[in-house]
Structure formats: structure tokens, C-alpha cells
Amino acid sequence: MKNYYSSDFKLGILGGGQLGRMLLAETQKYDIHTVILDSNKNAPCAEICNTFVLGDLLDFNAVYNFGKTVDLLTIEIENVNLDALDKLEEEGLKIFPKPRDLRIIQNKARQKNFYLDHQIPTAAFSHYAYLEELKHSYQNNIIDFPFVWKAARFGYDGNGVKIVRNIEDLEALPNVECITEKLIPFKNELAVIVARNASGEIKTYPVVEMEFHPEANQVEYVICPARIEKQIAEKARELALKVVRDLDFIGLLAVEMFQTAADEILVNEVAPRPHNSGHYSIEASYTNQFEQHLRSILDLPLGNTASKVAGIMVNLVGEAGFSGDVVYENIAEILKIDGVTPHLYGKKETRPFRKMGHVTIVDANIDIARAVAQKVKETIRVISK
């Protein structure tokens, strides 16, 4: 067993955003030396990791050279240069999650094909290399409105996903590789985070329930545990486990799912890292998702995924109409309420719908937590000077 703690062991992290920042709270607890690559010198992690390296995550040389300086490599964003990771892995570097899995996940068409190949239930889809192909398909009545359009790559926080309802929506789409899906009428959006280490130990977090903002297509509340029937939760959990096992995944995998009107569970998409749907775990769980990610990639025993209390997360996104130096309005107001913890991501500039932070609300009683979450949402505003 490698001596990771207070030693010369170096953990490389590709990406220095808010997920990296929350991971650093855990590497600090374990005193693990961190080296981070990001192209933004003001990235949320820049000043608080041990060593910060400026470089483009999609550039082969930047990622390869960075990888040569560390003992183990992980990611906090999946849009990284995979050719560099393949070469580093060939040369013996441990990389978790594995580049092979990142390659499947990074491209939504490949991800969907993986589900098909493994009989993992998911919404039916079509794959188009260019926008023209998609238009052609529409003109030939192969698909019809409304449908869900997803860019095959580089989507984040609801970017790269659109509901296409008419010809204007179709014309406005960018000319990129994409998939389309039937619009699924669902009862609930659920998520399950699964952790697995190299020794094969595997643990699931409780099923959470997500409420989306109707306009921004971003998660507004994440509620743990999901207020669903036990057998539905168990079905979602089993499905998430199947995805992880089929991928032979190592690390933390967030599996987003739909519960349909007929109580089918369909996999929507996965994220190979700590995820917005697991932020509640910092305050609510025995082992939070960031510590669990660390345990899984270092092949340490996995921690208890149970909750101490109910947890609800509210995303803090930039208010429409405000851009520039951020001001968080009414933080003192929300701090007056029991069980409320803000997490601000260290971004100096706000933009409409930019993820700037989140607030966790915990309480032994989930209904109280839900009421407080509503209050928090109505009170705090992310504006600019």
C-alpha cells in the first residue's frame, strides 16, 4: 500500500473548477499533495491546491506533460484529452476513472450505444454527425417535434441540451454532432451515485430526487432521500450498479435516471466523478462524495454512504440580467435559519444561469428541510455590483 499521507505522493487532478475545490477540502483532511491543471489562472482551485499548472485540458501535450509529473491522475471534468490519457496509461500511470470509460462517457452517442449494447434501459435515440443530417431526417418525416436534442460532446449544466418544439428551434441548433431522443413524460428525475475501488468494493448512495428549473434546464433542488416508493428506489439502485459493473468502472459514477409514468427506470446519462446531485452529502452523509471519490481512486476502503439527516441542495446560479463582479445578496438572512450551509465556488464573475455555488439544508425531518430550501431559494440572489 502506497503511503499517500503527508508524503511525496502527488495526486494530479485534471480541472480546477468547483468540483476540484470541494475535492481539495478532502485531500487537505488526508494531507495528500495535489497538483491541478486548468486553463483558467483564476480557476476556483488555483490558490488552494498545492501546485497549480496552467494548461489546456484538451491539448495533448499539456495533459501528457502534466501526467508525467504525478503519481496518480484523476479528473473533475470529463472533457479532457483522452489520447494523452491513453498514452500515459500505456506508460504505466494509474488513471481513475479509466480513460476507456471516459471515452464512452465523453460522447453521448457512444454512451447511448453502450446502454443499448448492455441492455441498459434508456430513451430511444438517433445519432447525427452534423445538423444537416438531423434536418434531413426531419424533412423526411423520420423524426417529429417535439424531441430532445443533445450535443454529443461538451455539454454542461444544461448547455448542450434543448427541447426542440418547432422549425425555429431546429434552425437555431448549432452544427455539431448530436443525438436526439423522444421526449419522455416522466414522474421523477432520480440519481444514484455509485463508488467502486480497484479492489472491487462497491457502494451506492441513497437515491436522490431532482427538481429542475423549467427555463434554465438546470437542477434547482436535489432531495435526499428521494420521496419515492421503496421498490422504485431499489430498482434505480440496481440499475446504477449494473451500469458501474458493465463499465467495470473505478471511481465515482453519478447515474441520472428517469422514472416514467409506468414506473420504468431509464438511464438518462452518467457523470464519471463527483456530481451536483451528491453535494448534499457534504453535510448529510457519513462519508461525503468527494471523500468517497478519493477513497475509490486510491483503492482505500469505501466509507458509509448512509445519511445522518435528510439533505436538500439548492443550486445558486447567476440571476438573469446580471453579469460582472458577483454579489451574493441576503446570505446573512439565510444563515439565520438552522441547518443552512452556503458553498460559494470562488468565481469572481457572475453570468445569467452560471453555477456560482450551492446551499445545503439539512434537518432530521425532510419536510422541514424542503420548506427551508424553498425559503432559501426565495431569499438569496446572485447578482452583480
Query: What minimum distance in Å lies between the beta carbon of 326 and a copy of itself?
Result: 5
> Measured between alpha carbons, how far is 175 from 283 in angstroms, rounded to an integer?
42
Query: What minimum distance in Å lies between the beta carbon of 57 and a copy of itself?
Result: 22
Binding a copy of itself (rule: CB under 8 A), the pick from 13, 17, 21, 70 is 21
Phi then psi for 362, rounded to 5 degrees?
Answer: -120, 150
Choose among 304, 316, 301: nearest CA to 357: 316
3-state secondary structure of 83: helix
Which x/- pattern over 291-330 shows residues binding a copy of itself (rule: CB under 8 A)?
x---x----xx-xx---xx---------------xxxx--
Q: What is the largest CA-CA distance in the chain?
A: 63
Of 183 and 383, CB closest to a copy of itself: 383
Measured CA angle at 74 (ends 69, 78), to 5 deg: 120
Count of all residues that appear for the chain in the document: 385
Of 108 and 354, CB closest to a copy of itself: 354
Signed CA dihedral, 64, 69, 73, 79: sign only: negative
Of 28 and 61, CB closest to a copy of itself: 28
- For position 39 contacting a copy of itself by CB under 8 A, the verdict is no
- For position 225 contacting a copy of itself by CB under 8 A, the verdict is no
For every residue of 267-288, DSSP letters joined together read EEEEESS--GGGTTHHHHBSS-
Binding a copy of itself (rule: CB under 8 A), the pick from 279, 347, 355, 370 is 347
Phi then psi for 335, rounded to 5 degrees?
Answer: -70, -15
Of 174 and 352, CB closest to a copy of itself: 352
Pairing label, strands 219-224, 202-204: unpaired
Per the annotation, does 330 bind a ligand?
no
- For position 129 contacting a copy of itself by CB under 8 A, the verdict is no
- Give the residues lining the site for a copy of itself (CB under 8 A): 1, 3, 5-7, 21, 24-25, 28-31, 47-50, 286-287, 291, 295, 300-301, 303-304, 308-309, 325-328, 331-332, 335-336, 338-348, 357, 362, 364
